[in-house]
Structures are given as structure tokens and as C-alpha cells.
Copies of this chain bind each other. A is one copy, B any other.
Amino acid sequence: MSIQLTILGCHSATPRNNAHPTSQFLEINERHFLIDCGEGTQTLLRKNKIQFAKIRHIFISHLHGDHFYGLIGLIATFGLLNREHDLHIYGPKGIKEIITLQIKLCKSWTKFSLIFHELNGTESTVVFEDKKVIVRTIPLDHRIYTNGYLFQEKEGPRKLNMEKIQLNPEIQVCDYHNLKKGKNFIATNGAEIPNEKLTLPPKKPASYAFCSDTAFLPEIVSLLKEVDLLYHEATFLETEKSLAKKTKHSTAKEAATIAKEAQVGQLIIGHYSNRYKDLTPFQKEAEEIFSNTHLAQTGKMFSIG
């Protein structure tokens, strides 16, 4: 599985018994990320049987409470669980001060390193990169400084075309590594067989984009082009469009419009306002624009590849 996304919380504003604020757990190409961390996230991680130790990187979109009030508690719990691994936290400038002030006043310094990556840029930037995954910000338009995040697998090795390879007895298992890396094969007589005659293109890298919270912002479409999975907030329905505009949120229709324009694979919507008891109108409104739309729901999982 290239990507597995678990929705922990997907409602806006105040936590309620069955409406948890935003948080998501993402597995992508063997990396594990927590995205946003509303109050109660650590309890939802337990409910969904997600091992705390897997989380090495936490991405916070913005400093509204329903996206980060659970962070300090999660860090404290990591401490109580005797965590040793570094924890990287990506989020708006100010997040370091909030967390360290509380740690200082609680006299509960962690034994593991807390590494903050504070953001204040307004252009998309790479914030994480290793040999398997790259993560960039998606600058959004909300009441306070906010970023979405684009998670992309890196292109893997080329795949061996065994049918072709077996026709040439000179090619040994020890040559496979170079073939996967794209090198041509040199026969003992000096003849060069082009790599593309012996291999197939690598699997298309999977990608996931998280966009919350934001007003309708067509400028992000170019960043989201053909992502496999897009989460886009849909706090309101079109009937409350003026409220969406005033509070810098999106409607289901607007989220679907972004998905359609960016030609994404699937759309997930969430961050529903607590005013809506029935969520089916969200599905209906979005589907009219973009048919492959799914409603976020606590505990729901989405997989790619």
C-alpha cells in the first residue's frame, strides 16, 4: 500500500461526543505522519490502534484550537511513554513558544528532542524530504496564517521486465540492481542494450494533499494537479455561502470545484460545521461537480496503490 489515510477527527470548532476536531494519520511509502492535532487526538489514536511510536513528524496547518489543542497533551504522553525518538513539528511561527512555555511551566521537559520547523512563508516550500517522500506546503487563505500540505512519494526504481530479461542468459541476478536504477546492460561482446528494453517504468508515485482551513482558492489548483487523493475542507453548504465567505471557509461545491479543476483521483471532504446534523447534503452537493467524492468520518480509512 503506497498511501493509507486514517481520519481521526473531521469536524470543525468545538469537540462533541461524536464530532471530533481535525486530525489525520497518514502512512505514505513507509513514512508515518500526523496531520493536525485537535483536542482528543491522542484518545482517537488509541481507538484506532495507531502506535504512538510510529509518529515522527507532526504537521499543523494553523493555530486555531480545533487543529492543535491536542498537541501539548500528545507530547506530554510521549514523554510519559518514555519516548526516545526525535519528534519534528511543522507549523506556523508561534507554535514553538506555545509548546515550550507549557513544558517549562509544567516542569516536564521531554527526554526526546522536540524539533520545531516554524513556517511563515507564503509560497509553497519543501518542508520535509527523504529518499522516499517529499512534503510541501500549500499556502491557504484563512483568517489566520494557514498551510495545507502536499505529501508525495518519490519515484521508485524501474521494474524488471522479466520476460525480456530471461531471453538474455548473460543477465544475472547481480545485474538487476543497476537495471532498476536505469542503467543500460553491456554484454560481454561490448553491445549495449538500452535499459528501457529490459525494464518497465516505475509505479506512478502516489500523492495526498491536505487542504484545511481555507476560503475557495483556485490558485492552489496548480499545486494539486492530478494528486491521487485530496482532502479539502467543506465547512458549509452553498446555502451558507455568505457565511463561508465571511469566515474564510469553503462550501462542498467549492471543494468539489477545486477537485475537478485539479483533476484529482478522489476527493474527501470534512471539517463540517456543527450546525449540520445530516451530512448527506454535503455528499450530494459535491458529487454534482465531482463524482468521486467521499465524506470524512472518524475512523474511516482511504488507501491508494
A interface residues (Cβ-Cβ under 8 A, vs B): 13-17, 39-40, 42-43, 46-47, 63-65, 69-70, 72-73, 76-77, 80-81, 92, 94, 97-98, 101-102, 105-108, 143-144
CA gap between A42 and B64 in the complex, in Å: 17
Contact at A69–B65, with CB atoms within 8 Å? no
One of B65, B92, B105 near A72 (C-beta < 8 A): B65
CA gap between A42 and B13 in the complex, in Å: 12
Smallest CB-CB A-B distances: 7 pairs: A94-B105, A14-B77, A65-B76, A39-B73, A69-B73, A63-B105, A63-B106
Contact at A43–B16, with CB atoms within 8 Å? yes
Q: How many copies does the complex hold?
A: 2
Q: Which of A16, A65, A144 has the most CB of B within 10 A?
A: A65
CA gap between A39 and B72 in the complex, in Å: 10
| A97 surroundings in chain B (CB, below 8 A) | 101, 105
CA gap between A154 and B94 in the complex, in Å: 45
| A16 surroundings in chain B (CB, below 8 A) | 43, 46
13 extra interchain contacts, Cβ-Cβ under 8 A, other than A64-B108, A92-B105, A106-B144?
A14-B42, A14-B76, A14-B77, A16-B46, A65-B72, A65-B76, A65-B102, A69-B76, A97-B101, A97-B105, A98-B105, A101-B101, A107-B143
CA gap between A107 and B143 in the complex, in Å: 9
| A14 surroundings in chain B (CB, below 8 A) | 42, 73, 76-77, 80-81
